[in-house]
């Protein structure tokens, strides 16, 4: 394979839906990564989100630390340099991030009940930040749900099979900044993503590398206005490994700062992740036991923290 497939979603409806769904399915069953273009997320929203990200990360370190993820909880807020170690063998990652999740009202019943991953977003004072990021968040949610209709089609399920499992999802929108990487460090270590899918938008600085099933690393070059879509471990588990969640990493050897925005689409906390029957041969037992989506996400997040933190 020379590179990641590029799938044009301009006709991702009507007669064009089945053709595009089959292309998506082929990518999910082979490399687990693909580009989408003409995806319906307006370029203006993407540009505004990147502008908000750059403005935020330019703030003083003390200002960013006021919304540290340890203070906010629920996987929200600012994550500083070397806060994560996605590949513990390589040490902590040379990146900083800011996370938001589903925007909730202060009187949301699940928030008041202390349900997992139900916390209020923490909003920095950066001008225009909240509006830009929320507009982008909503547009990415629409795209992610459309892609799940393609998955359902491929797996022989009703097209709305995933809808009730993502009615109030544990989505994380993560703004990422990779400063110029010191010698011997890595932007983001080799890892797989935890949720169902990730929609990744990048600037014009390269660095994303994907590991194939054969063990080869291939480069995912910057593609303006496109998303890199990849399958996460939760959907791989749901499909009994029919869809593949392949490892990837960020190696920023450009000598420049790098910005990207990752939209991690995880199910509702109470969604039961269990093998889809159509993914099992007749009479075969499931490889993975059922697990609540919130329990699975917590397990994966805890494992990414450097020892001693």
Q: What is the pLDDT of residue 17?
A: 95
- Listed as ranges, residues in the chain with pLDDT below 50 are 1, 308-309
Q: What is the pLDDT of residue 46?
A: 98
**pLDDT of 61-97, one tens digit each?**
999 999 999 999 888 999 998 888 788 888 888 899 9
Q: What is the pLDDT of residue 127?
A: 96
Q: What is the pLDDT of residue 186?
A: 79
How many degrees, rounded to 5, is the angle at CA 238 between CA 219 and CA 165? 105
- The 3-class secondary structure across 73-131, one letter per residue, is CCCCEEECCCCCCCCHHHCCCCCEEEEEECCCCCCCHHHHCCCCCCCCCCCCCCCCHHH
Listed residue (267, 282, 249) closest to 178, CA to CA: 249
Q: What is the pLDDT of residue 308?
A: 45
Please state the φ and ψ torsions of residue 281, each to the nearest 5 degrees. -60, 155
DSSP SS3 for 49: helix
DSSP SS3 for 9: coil
**CATH of the domain spanning 6-303:** 2.60.120.330
User: What single string gives the DSSP state of each residue in 243-270?
Assistant: S----EEE---SSS-EEEEEEEE---TT
Given a contact cutoff of 8 angstroms between Cβ atoms, the answer to whether 75 and 99 are in contact is: yes
DSSP SS3 for 202: strand
Q: What is the pLDDT of residue 198?
A: 97
Helix axes of 43-57 and 129-154: crossing angle, nearest 10 degrees: 130
Q: What is the pLDDT of residue 304?
A: 62
User: What is the distance between the alpha carbons of residues 35 and 194, in angstroms, rounded to a whole number?
Assistant: 19
How many degrees, rounded to 5, is the angle at CA 66 between CA 65 and CA 69? 70
The residues near 138 (Cβ < 8 Å, ≥ 6 apart) are none
Q: What is the pLDDT of residue 14?
A: 77
Given a contact cutoff of 8 angstroms between Cβ atoms, the answer to whether 241 and 288 are in contact is: no
pTM (predicted TM-score): 0.94
User: What is the distance between the alpha carbons of residues 273 and 293, in angstroms, rounded to a whole number?
Assistant: 6
Please state the φ and ψ torsions of residue 234, each to the nearest 5 degrees. -65, -45
By DSSP bridging, strand 33-37 and strand 6-8 are: parallel
Going edge to edge, which strands form the sheet with 208-211?
A: 188-191, 248-250, 208-211, 217-219
Can you name the residues that pair with 96 across neighbouring β-strands?
Answer: 177
Please state the φ and ψ torsions of residue 253, each to the nearest 5 degrees. -100, 15
Domain ranges within the chain, ordered by starting residue: 6-303
User: What is the distance between the alpha carbons of residues 101 and 118, in angstroms, rounded to a whole number?
Assistant: 9
Please state the φ and ψ torsions of residue 279, each to the nearest 5 degrees. -90, 0
């Amino acid at each position: 394979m020379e590179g990641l497939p590029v799938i044009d979603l301009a006709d991702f409806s009507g007669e064009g839906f089945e053709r595009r769904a089959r292309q998506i399915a082929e990518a999910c069953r082979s490399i687990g990564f693909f580009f989408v273009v003409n995806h319906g997320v307006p370029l203006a929203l993407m540009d505004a989100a990147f502008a908000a990200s750059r403005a935020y990360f330019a703030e003083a370190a003390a200002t960013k630390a006021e919304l540290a993820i340890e203070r906010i909880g629920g996987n929200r807020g600012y994550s500083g340099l070397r806060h994560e170690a996605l590949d513990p063998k390589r040490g902590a990652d040379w990146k900083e991030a800011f996370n938001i999740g589903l925007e909730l009202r202060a009187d949301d019943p699940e928030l008041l009940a202390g349900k997992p991953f139900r916390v209020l977003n923490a909003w920095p004072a950066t001008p225009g930040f909240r509006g830009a990021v929320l507009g982008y968040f909503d547009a990415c949610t629409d795209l992610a749900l459309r892609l799940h209709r393609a998955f359902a089609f491929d797996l022989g399920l009703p097209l709305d099979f995933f809808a009730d499992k993502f009615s109030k999802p544990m989505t994380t929108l993560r703004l990422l900044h990779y400063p110029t990487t010191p010698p011997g460090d890595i932007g983001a270590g080799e890892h797989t993503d935890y949720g169902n899918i990730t929609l990744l938008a990048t600037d014009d600085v390269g660095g994303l590398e994907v590991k194939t099933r054969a063990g080869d690393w291939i480069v995912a070059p910057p593609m303006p206005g496109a998303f890199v879509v990849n399958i996460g471990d939760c959907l791989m588990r749901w499909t009994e490994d029919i869809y593949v969640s392949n490892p990837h990493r960020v190696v920023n050897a450009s000598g420049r700062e790098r910005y990207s925005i990752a939209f991690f689409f995880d199910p509702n906390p109470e969604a039961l992740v269990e093998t889809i029957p159509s993914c099992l041969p007749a009479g075969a037992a499931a490889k993975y036991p059922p697990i609540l989506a919130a329990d699975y996400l917590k397990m994966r997040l805890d494992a990414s923290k450097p020892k001693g933190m």
